[in-house]
Amino acid sequence: MSFESLGLCSKLLRAIADEGYESPTPIQAEAIPAVLAGHDLLASAQTGTGKTASFTLPILQRLSQVNTARDRRIRALVLTPTRELAAQVEASIKTYGKYMPLRIASIYGGTRMGPQIARLRKGVDVLVATPGRLLDHLGQGTADLSSVDTLVLDEADRMLDMGFIHDIRKIIEHTSSDRQTLLFSATFSRQIRKLADDLLDSPKVIEVARTNTVAENVTQVVHPVDRHRKRELLSHMIGSKNWGRVLVFTRTKHGANRLAEQLQSDGLSSDTIHGNKSQGARARALDSFKRGKVRVLVATDVAARGLDIDELPHVVNFDLPNVAEDYVHRIGRTGRAGNEGDAVSLVCVDEHYLLRNIERLLKRNIPSTVIPGYEPDPNAEPQPIPGAKRPSNRRGGASRSYSRGGQNRRSGGRNQGRSSGGPRNGKSFTAPVVKKGAGSSAAKPSRKRA
């Protein structure tokens, strides 16, 4: 299948060709025609398989058929959970729409309201926003969503996790009931399907791969290690294997700062991304990492969604996430656009139950290897992890024990480290989308935001 066969206009095809893309990914091949046909959409695919283009391209195609020059009103709205993802989606829309006379903008927290208000007053055709900042503008009367034809919820499950459901319902009250709504995410829980029932009108459901899987070109491995030796092992691996660019995830902001300082003292150029840093500082850290000025970027889960970094070969879970689904998104930062990727998890005795939760989600064991010289103490006692819920002793949990040689006794070390998700053929990309007639449903109480 080619992009021409999807019915896209010549300006979009030219922009796609400029990026070197030759054929659509499975999610793009199914989603683009559905969006162009006007369907509401509930779409799930592995992270890194081009979801952004799946909604961006058809939105731009539809806007190309409207004379927006005389009437600069917000026609398409994309909601994202994080500032980084909002900026990235805006960049993708501008890339694909560069031959179109459209105005595209993003608004999110951590930056001044004044420049955003000025941009909105000039007129915007496509707006990308985080829910909290958009509500600020709606409250001040500086944003008008009455002309929105297409609403996209990107990474909808993450917005639900972050307690944005109440904000989303408030925002939807400002949009037309006659709209197209698109929900895109790498994972869909029962809560997300309930949200889709509330907000979508007879949606087309697209699942191009089993939910909660990782791309086949990502190799996963666990290295058991004592908690106090994790940083030493991480520095050893980066140095001995000559890793040039590494994204490392920690559980807390304080942990990210401390680890970056320690790695810096080990001679490894490092920086951080987390919620306590200003948006400008986060943008500078990410830019330095992409340009190779920083070797190690240490991040909390604020970077687990949406960061698209070309040729990122290594992702390390310095701490396992409290929520198993976040593991899928973290390691989805590598192995993108058909490239090979390595996902390494440093696991201490405190985290064995978190690892079991992840393996239960993936429906497979992750291969385990003990690095010589870093063997964990078999008598170490686990310590509680703040915010992590221990699972009940239900049957079916993957039991995990480590031998001195590092083989997983249960799997015998035969697992080759490949996940069961489908491979990606050729280069791909990402995008946004819209919805129809939801009306204002009764707002549910929101969870505390992370």
Q: List pLDDT tens digits, range 265-285.
A: 999 999 998 878 877 888 889
pLDDT, residue 411, reads: 37
Helices (H), 123-210: 131-140, 156-161, 165-172, 190-199
d(CA 381, CA 368): 20
213 CB contacts (<8 Å, ≥6 apart)? 46, 328, 362, 419, 420, 421
Q: What is residue 49's DSSP assignment?
A: S
pLDDT digits (tens, 9 = 90+) for 169-197: 999 999 998 999 999 876 677 777 888 88
Select from 417, 361, 367 the least CA-distant residue to 223. Answer: 367
Is pLDDT at 118 greater than 80 in this prediction? Answer: yes
Select from 405, 222, 246 the least CA-distant residue to 320. Answer: 222
pLDDT, residue 445, reads: 37
The fraction of the chain above a pLDDT of 70, given in percent, is 80
pLDDT, residue 438, reads: 39
Kindly report which listed range (71-75, 192-196, 317-321, 438-442) carries the lowest average pLDDT score.
Answer: 438-442
Kindly report which listed range (123-127, 142-146, 339-343, 358-362) carries the lowest average pLDDT score.
Answer: 339-343
d(CA 449, CA 432): 24
The answer to whether residues 4 and 32 touch, using CB atoms and an 8 Å cutoff, is: no
pLDDT digits (tens, 9 = 90+) for 37-92: 999 999 986 666 788 899 999 999 999 887 655 577 999 999 998 888 898 899 99
d(CA 388, CA 370): 25
pLDDT digits (tens, 9 = 90+) for 384-430: 888 776 654 444 444 444 433 343 433 333 333 333 333 333 333 33
pLDDT, residue 378, reads: 93
73 CB contacts (<8 Å, ≥6 apart)? 123, 125, 144, 146, 147
d(CA 399, CA 185): 30
- The per-residue b/e assignment along 383-397, b for 16 or more CB within 10 angstroms, e otherwise, is eebeebeeeeeeeee
Is the pLDDT higher at 286 or at 186?
Answer: 286
Select from 177, 217, 234, 228 the least CA-distant residue to 417. Answer: 217
pLDDT, residue 2, reads: 85
How large is the average pLDDT for residues 91-100? 94
Is the pLDDT higher at 432 or at 298?
Answer: 298
> Mean pLDDT of all residues in the chain?
82
Helix or strand holding residue 121 (H, E): helix 113-122
Domains and CATH numbers, the chain: 4-207 (3.40.50.300), 215-421 (3.40.50.300)
272 CB contacts (<8 Å, ≥6 apart)? 256, 257, 260, 285, 297, 298, 299
pLDDT digits (tens, 9 = 90+) for 295-308: 999 998 876 665 66
Whole-prediction pTM value? Answer: 0.63
| pLDDT class of 439 with cuts at 50, 70, 90 | very low
Is pLDDT at 373 greater than 70 in this prediction? Answer: yes
d(CA 84, CA 388): 25
